[in-house]
Amino acid sequence: MSKVFVSDPSSVKTNEISRNKLLRVAGIGWLFDAMDVGILSFVIAALAVDWGLSSSQMGWIGSINSIGMAVGALIFGVFADKVGRKTIFICTLVIFSVASGLSAFTTTLGLFLILRFFVGMGLGGELPVASTLVSESVEAKERGRVVVLLESFWAAGWLLAAIISYFVIPADFWPIEGWRVALILTAIPAFYAVYIRLHLPDSPQFTAKEETKRRSIMKNIVDVWSKKYSRPTLMLWILWFTVVFSYYGMFLWLPSVMVGKGFDLITSFKYVLIMTLAQLPGYFTAAWFIERLGRKFVLVTYLLGTAVSAFIFGNAETISILLISGILLSFFNLGAWGALYAYTPEQYPTVIRGTGTGMAAAVGRIGGIFGPLLVGWLLAVGYEIGSIFAIFCGAIIIGAAAVLFLGKETKQTELE
């Protein structure tokens, strides 16, 4: 007589607890990242008033952050394959939070930019490493959903940033400006890193794979472009560049764009807060679809939705169209981000997963350098917001095409 094996319910329950704990611990770190980036977009608008910045100088604040993120994603992504995901996750969290807190006390644009570079390094390294860690720690049948849920903490962080910015930045904390108080709050993650050190396990795939520690860094970098992985690498580099280019070009300038359309600073912050709320359902719907319809479907659909919304937002002439298109822009763009972080680590085996993910993110951050700079330069020479957002619309369509024609479906496949 054949035997029927039933999985141990207590084991299943333990796996659920471990998965939820990992998601919570990594997610809160992700939340703090988003809070910092979100607050920066509001701080740029406030600094333009306090320090009398030109549009080009405003663009450099966003771009220097992305330069740091490109460097951090490459360096820390590579070292995540040598020393472990958990160690790098903690290091990057400390770097970005301490540098962000110190930037609150600067009095010159030059020093502010230097500190924002280090903030970017920490952010750029932490994000791909965290998604790799979670990907390697979750079963294939729910991996995509869990990574998208991890990304949903980004929306919570942006929402928290919008709330802090709405109430804190315009407030009078004499003799300290409101934007300085907001940046001081971003130093909190340094304390959270201590908690992570005690409670976050490293990736089981990394700890079990001794080969990852013996391989040279250069060997890992070369293998990312080996024949087997060249196509997914090309696809990811195009996708990451176009998504990050458009995201930072649009979202870091969102409060400033609202001011440019005739709204005062507080009203602009309120409208951006409303738009930010749409990020959460964007993530949750993407998490639901990604294990049912696949990564490619979610990425292509949500990217095309982002492109259409961006074009409408840039050309909106009434408050209602501006708000509706802004809400849809947040909904689709952040849903696509969730799928992007789920999709990227699935393209590589354990031995080069951190390197491949980090390199793709680094290329993306190069796009993040040019996005804010391009907006600042085009505004300075007299281009309309509608024309600028049309450029981002076109870039996003290119990213969607790369996934459609070069990407492979990885839904519920076991990681190599």
Please state, for a pLDDT cut of 70, what percent of the chain lies above it.
90
Listed residue (348, 338, 350, 356) closest to 410, CA to CA: 348
Rounded to the nearest integer, the mean pLDDT of the chain is: 83
Position 194 confidence tier, pLDDT thresholds 50, 70, 90: low
Average pLDDT over residues 357-364: 92
Per-residue model confidence as pLDDT tens digits over 232-264: 999 999 999 999 999 888 887 777 777 777 777
Residues of the chain with pLDDT > 90, as a percent, come to: 28
The pLDDT value recorded for residue 94 is: 84
Tell me: pLDDT of 331 over 90: yes
Burial letters for 212-244: b for 16+ Cβ neighbours within 10 Å, e otherwise?
beebeeeebbebbeeeebeebbebbbbbbbbbb
* Residue with the larger pLDDT of the pair 202 and 107: 107
Q: What is the pLDDT of residue 236?
A: 97
pLDDT at 12 over 50: no
pLDDT at 256: 73
Distance, CA of 181 to CA of 119 (rounded, Å): 17
Please name the amino acid found at residue 33. Answer: D
Measured CA angle at 334 (ends 62, 304), to 5 deg: 105
- pLDDT confidence of residue 273: 77
Domain-wise residue ranges, the chain: 22-195+226-406
Tens digit of each residue's pLDDT (9 = 90 or more) over 349-358: 988 888 999 8
- Give residue 372's pLDDT: 81
Look at residues 36, 64, 35 and name the one whose alpha carbon lies nearest to residue 376: 64
Residue of higher predicted confidence among 312 and 414: 312
pLDDT at 297: 95
Min mean pLDDT across 32-36, 98-102, 304-308, 335-339 is at: 32-36
31 pLDDT tier (thresholds 50, 70, 90):
confident
Per-residue confidence band for 11, with pLDDT thresholds at 50, 70 and 90? very low
What pLDDT band is residue 206 in, cutting at 50, 70 and 90?
A: low
10 — pLDDT class (breaks 50, 70, 90): very low
Residues forming beta bridges with residue 172, ordered by sequence position: 177
User: Does residue 266 carry a pLDDT above 70?
Assistant: no
CB 151 within 8 A of CB 338: yes
Which of 31-35, 92-96, 401-405 is modeled with the greatest confidence? 401-405
* pTM, 2 dp: 0.78
In the predicted model, what is the mean pLDDT of residues 154-173? 82
Q: In this model, does residue 9 exceed pLDDT 60?
A: no
The pLDDT of 33-51, averaged and rounded, is: 83
Give 113 or 273, the one with higher predicted confidence.
Answer: 113
- Is 90 exceeded by the pLDDT of residue 298? yes
Question: Identity (one letter) of the amino acid at 185?
Answer: L
202 pLDDT tier (thresholds 50, 70, 90): low
- pLDDT tens-digit profile of 107-163? 899 999 999 999 989 888 887 887 788 888 777 778 888 888 887 888 788 888 888
From 1-5, 50-54, 347-351, the region with the lowest mean pLDDT: 1-5
Most confident residue range from 41-50, 167-176, 200-209, 302-311: 302-311
What mean pLDDT do residues 91-99 have? Answer: 86
Residues forming a β-bridge with 177: 172
Superfamily of domain 22-195+226-406: MFS general substrate transporter like domains (1.20.1250.20)
Q: 300: closest CA among 334, 339, 330?
A: 339
Alpha-carbon torsion (76, 369, 112, 34), positive or negative: negative
> Region 182-207: what's the mean pLDDT?
72
